[in-house]
C-alpha cells in the first residue's frame, strides 16, 4: 500500500481522525501524527493487522521542537511481507516528556528508546532497562535538545580548551 492508503486504512481501523502531513513541496516522505496516549495502541495495530503487518522497526528517534514546546518521536516502519513503508509520529510535552514504551511490540525499541532517553530526555514508561547509552550515566543534560549547553567540566576534566576550536562549532553564517 502507498503511505496515503495506509493512512486512510489506519484511520478506519482506529476509528478516529489522524493528522496527515507532507513536506513543503511534497518531496521526501509524508507522515502521520498520533496522539501520545494512543501511541502504543496504534503501533500494535500496525504490527498485528494483516494488511499492514509492520514487523520491522527500521528506526525510532526524536526531534526537538522548542518553538512548539514539543518533542517529536518518529518511527520508521517497514513490512517484509507487504513490502511497504510508513512514518508514524507522536509528540510529547517538552517540559514533562513521558511516553509509553514500544519495547513490548518491537524489541528493537529497547536500544532506540535508550538513545532517545539519553539524547533528548524522554522518559519511556514500561521500558525494561532505561539507562543512558551514549553519554556517561552522570552526564548532565540531553545533547540533542536545541537549547543544550555542554557542562563546563566532567568530573574535573574541562570539556573545552581555551584557544582551540569549540567542541560544537558555531552555526554557519551567510
Partner 1 sequence: MSEPTQAGAQREEIVLNMGPHHPSTHGVLRFVVHTDGEIMRKAVPEVGYLHRGLEKLAETQTYAGYMPFTDRVNYLEAMFAEQAYAMAVEALLATEVPPRAEFLRTIACELNRIANHHVTLGCITMDLGAYTPFVYLLREREGINDLIEALCGNRITHNYLRIGGVSYDVDDKWLGQLESYLNHFEPIIDELVALIVGNEILIKRMEDVAVISREDAVAWGLTGPNLRASGQDWDVRRDIPYGAYPQFEFDVPVGPLGRGQAGDCNQRFLVRVEEMRQSCRILRQCLAKLPEGDIKAKVPKMIKAPKGESYASVEGARGEMGCYLVSDGGKNPYRLKWRTGSFSAMSIIEHTSPGLMIADLVALVATLDVIAPECDR
Q: What residues make contact with partner 1 under the rule CB under 8 A?
A: 22-29, 31, 55-59, 61, 63-64, 74, 76, 80, 83, 85, 87, 106-108, 110-111, 119, 132-136, 143-144, 168-172
Q: Which is nearer to partner 1, 4 or 134 (CB)?
A: 134
Reading the block at residue 88, the C-alpha cell is: 508514524
For residues 17 and 150, what is the distance between their CA atoms, to the nearest angstrom?
41
Smallest gap from residue 100 Cβ to partner 1 (A) = 18
Secondary structure (3-state) at 131: coil
Q: Which residues pair with residue 104 across a beta bridge?
A: none
- Sorted by sequence, the CB contacts under 8 Å of residue 169 that are 6+ apart come out as none
Q: Which is nearer to partner 1, 37 or 153 (CB)?
A: 153
Smallest gap from residue 49 Cβ to partner 1 (A) = 17
Q: Which is nearer to partner 1, 37 or 151 (CB)?
A: 151
Q: Which is nearer to partner 1, 136 or 163 (CB)?
A: 136
Smallest gap from residue 35 Cβ to partner 1 (A) = 20
For residue 94, how many other CB atoms are within 10 A of its CB?
A: 19
Closest C-alpha among 18, 11, 17 to residue 89: 18
- Sorted by sequence, the CB contacts under 8 Å of residue 156 that are 6+ apart come out as none
Smallest gap from residue 39 Cβ to partner 1 (A) = 18
Amino acid at each position: 500500500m502507498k503511505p496515503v492508503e495506509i493512512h486512510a486504512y489506519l484511520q478506519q481501523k482506529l476509528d478516529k481522525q489522524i493528522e496527515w502531513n507532507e513536506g513543503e513541496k511534497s518531496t521526501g516522505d509524508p507522515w502521520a501524527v498520533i496522539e501520545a496516549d494512543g501511541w502504543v495502541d496504534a503501533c500494535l495495530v500496525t504490527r498485528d493487522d494483516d494488511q499492514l503487518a509492520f514487523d520491522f522497526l527500521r528506526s525510532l528517534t526524536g526531534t526537538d521542537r522548542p518553538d512548539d514546546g514539543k518533542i517529536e518521536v518518529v518511527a520508521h516502519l517497514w513490512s517484509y511481507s507487504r513490502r511497504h513503508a510508513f512514518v508514524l509520529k507522536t509528540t510529547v510535552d517538552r517540559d514533562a516528556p513521558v511516553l509509553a514504551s514500544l519495547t513490548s511490540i518491537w524489541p528493537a525499541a529497547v536500544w532506540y528508546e535508550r538513545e532517545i532517553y539519553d539524547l533528548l530526555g524522554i522518559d519511556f514508561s514500561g521500558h525494561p532497562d532505561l539507562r543512558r547509552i551514549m553519554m556517561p550515566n552522570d552526564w548532565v543534560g540531553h545533547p540533542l535538545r536545541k537549547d543544550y549547553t555542554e557542562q563546563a567540566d566532567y568530573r574535573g576534566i574541562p570539556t573545552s580548551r581555551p584557544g582551540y576550536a569549540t567542541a560544537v562549532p558555531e552555526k554557519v553564517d551567510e
